[in-house]
Amino acid sequence: MVYEFRYNQVFRHFDVLLEGAWLTVQLSASAMALGLLIAIACALIKTDGPRPARLLVNAYVEVIRNTPFLVQIFIVFFGLPNLGLRLSASQAALIGLSINLGAYATEIVRAGIESIPRGQIEAGVSLGLSRLQVFRYVIIMPALKAIYPALSSQFIILMLASSIVSQISAEELFHSAAFLESRTFLNFEIYSIVAVMYLVLSIAFRGALNLVRLAVFRRP
């Protein structure tokens, strides 16, 4: 028996996959921004916060990093309604991805902050910089520059992990592929195309992140 590939039938519905890919891009980019903000806040608390706050951040990081993302997203989407907070699939996906990234990126950002020499911070204070200016120019920007490659890799992992949110019916790329497969039964054709699409998205995100690095950290 010789299998006849029918990619032409998949490309007739390629707009469905493109719509899913666009939602994947939007969801991933939003989660990257929110997750980074969470990571910066938690890293600051871990390096210079009161003990109770440090304990809470440590607990958050340990819980998220040692439980499956699928369980986390199920708790957000299916568990929170029991507490009176009902979210759409897209909202739950964004919250789940942001919280997950925040926990993993916290340790990366913390390492970057702790790499800044203490004398450099004291020099900024002695020059009359405000605490906000010291944080912006002396601490966080050099720290982010040092850890940017690690953060970029974590961002790409997040984008690939976004396929898991299809389990709560968030209409991203993998969900669109599963919908199309259920209508055409062209398993191999659809998922091989989706694999290539994720590869293209990974390369595109990496290129965009490199452009951000050049724009932000290589100013004259």
Rounded Cα gap, residues 50 and 76, in angstroms: 28
Task: Decide if 190 contacts 180 (C-beta within 8 A).
Answer: yes
Q: How far apart are CA 66 and CA 23, in angstroms?
A: 28
pLDDT (mean) for 57-65 = 96
Per domain, the residue ranges of the chain are 7-217
Confidence of residue 178 (pLDDT cuts 50, 70, 90): very high
Q: What is the pLDDT of residue 117?
A: 84
How far, rounded to the nearest angstrom, does the alpha carbon of residue 35 sit from its chain's CA centroid?
A: 6
> Strands, E, within the chain: which ranges?
none
**Buried-state track 184-197, b at ≥16 Cβ within 10 A, e below 16:** eebeebbeebbeeb
Question: Each residue of 46-57: pLDDT tens digit?
Answer: 988 899 999 999
Determine the average pLDDT of the residues in 89-97.
95
How many angstroms separate the Cα of 193 from the Cα of each of 7, 148, 174, 188, 196? 9, 31, 11, 8, 5
Q: What is the pTM of this model?
A: 0.91
Interval 76-92 mean pLDDT: 93
Residues present in the chain in total: 220
CATH 1.10.3720.10 given to domain 7-217: yes
Query: Does an H or E element contain 79, and which?
Result: none
Residue 111 has a pLDDT of 92
pLDDT tier for residue 135 given thresholds of 50, 70 and 90? confident
pLDDT in tens, 13-31: 899 999 999 999 999 999 9
Find the mean pLDDT for residues 4-13.
88
